[in-house]
Amino acid sequence: MISDYIKKGPDRAPTRSLLYGIGLTEKEIDQPLIGIVNSQNEIVAGHIHLDNIAQAAKIGVAMAGGTPIEFPAIGICDGIAMGHKGMKYPLASRELIADSIEAMAVAHGFDGLVLIPNCDKIVPGMMMAAARLNIPCIVVSGGPMYAGRYNGKTLDYSSCIESVASFKAGIITEDELEHITKEACPGCGSCSGLFTANSMNCMAEALGLALPYNGTIPAYSGARVALGKQAGMRIVDMVKNGLKPRDILTKEAFINAITVDMGMAGSTNTVLHLPAIAHEAGIELELDLFDEISRKTPCLTKLSPSGHHHMEDLHLAGGIPALMKELSKKGLLNLNIITATGKTVGENIKNAEIRDKSVIRTIEKPYRSEGGLAILRGNLAPDGAVVKAAAVAEEMMQHEGPAKVFNSEEEAIEAIFNNKIKKGDVVVIRYEGPKGGPGMREMLSPTSAIAGMGLDKDVALITDGRFSGATRGASIGHVSPEAMEGGPIALIQDGDIISIDITNRRLDVKLSETELEERKKNWKSPEPKVKTGYLARYARMVTSANTGAVLK
């Protein structure tokens, strides 16, 4: 066992003395040492209950003959960080999470890890650590919260943030806004739509690093606690059998995950996180692979923000196993690869079935013939850009309009709320990329403002930043190269005509190459927005969004 190097033999007597000091018995020290990586805290709704999952995992580990030892990981709530300087930190925290788990696991000689995340960057951060360490690891997430209800309507976090714009536009009263605020997030769990947290929890399942139904079992349920116990038992078997993350995280597994992502119309942030996890496993996922898979994968679900269903509906309809079973009927999945269950994908989904065809459609009657995400290229995004096509109104799939250019998210939000954005405009928000932000802030506030003011079928938004999984509308992010690197988005001026053709995967500005080259000669890189601390170091090392915004 890995832990032998910290606990076996006369030379390790000092280490054993410290283990006795924390209350371990000889038998416990002799057993596999399993780290329980718990990202519980009291500020994040998705994480406040994770002690329950950690306790269940510990019980499972002990039942199977292992010794559970808990240690923490940080977790930032994107929703609380949204719309202010705090949003610079969530993506950057992904690297901190991976680094800190690596440090704890190697320094203390753990034989395996149970990873307990739930929200946006914590899930990929933990999976990045698993791929990097390549010691037996299993993910068991905290699960989604239930959707809220108000006046007969289903609510979620995106309903609340869009309602702010509706209030400012005079569509609803302040009293109605407060009622929605109190009901939109009714309890613990990751936000109830198919936003980034739930997308990534489903990706952990589709990759095979988590047990079936990890992505959809509601947070507040006995089944979620039982899943924690099952994960605890499985990790001990994985240690004994030598089943490691890189045995599971093969190129075929990532192709499966991307296929599931397209089939369910997951968050655009998956295009950042899956390549970053793959990078840690020594696998390159090119941006065009996402579009290639999207072109041939039908979209079978329409969950918020693309539609009105939520994660609880997806779970009751059969969850990710049922979705995968349906996709497999078209030969879109590799069923022979191993997963954390010790079984193959095919064995895991063998008995799955759709229980509600209004939530998960059949392969013959999809919501869309293509996947939920699209990769755009053109003279405005030579290295690519990403859009959640499934959440775009049909009339905005092709759009041309004059640019309204802003050098920060705050400037854009002020213009939107002050009615400076008109029908037909294309809002351009730049210097918000991985380097420029720094930290590539999510643009849910401006996109929700546009939607809440009833302009989502008339106004497009493009940015070198990114979007929340809750974003809907013609919102195109990850524009690469970013403005801070002198990409074409840095050269756009007010009034330039932007051409968007999602159907044909194009994003262009109607300027000649000569004009763009002339503007590039006169462009000067602005001063960094942050010059000290972690974000300054992050900005110096982070790569472009099209490569997953990894550190090099």
Q: Which of 93, 163, 199, 468 is catalytic?
A: 468
Q: Where are the alpha helices (DSSP H) in 31-71?
A: 50-63
Of the candidates 129, 110, 109, 126, the residue with the CA atom closest to the CA atom of residue 118: 126
184 three-state secondary structure: coil
DSSP symbol at 527? P
Of the candidates 480, 547, 537, 525, the residue with the CA atom closest to the CA atom of residue 92: 537
Sign of the Cα torsion 223, 320, 54, 56 reads positive
Element (H, E) at 130: helix 122-133
Burial of 494 (0-12, 13-18, 19+ CB in 10 A): exposed
Of the candidates 33, 213, 214, 223, the residue with the CA atom closest to the CA atom of residue 123: 214
Q: Mark whether 39 is an active-site residue.
A: no
Helix axes 533-541, 90-108, angle to 10 degrees: 90
Contact criterion met (CB below 8 Å) for 442 and 468: yes
Contact criterion met (CB below 8 Å) for 306 and 124: no
Helix axes 222-241, 50-63, angle to 10 degrees: 40
- Interior angle at CA 177, CA 148 and CA 160, nearest 5: 45
CB atoms within 10 A of CB 271: 27
Q: How far apart are CA 339 and CA 162, in angstroms?
A: 39
- The tokens for 262 are 């397209």
Q: Which residues participate in catalysis according to the annotation?
A: 468
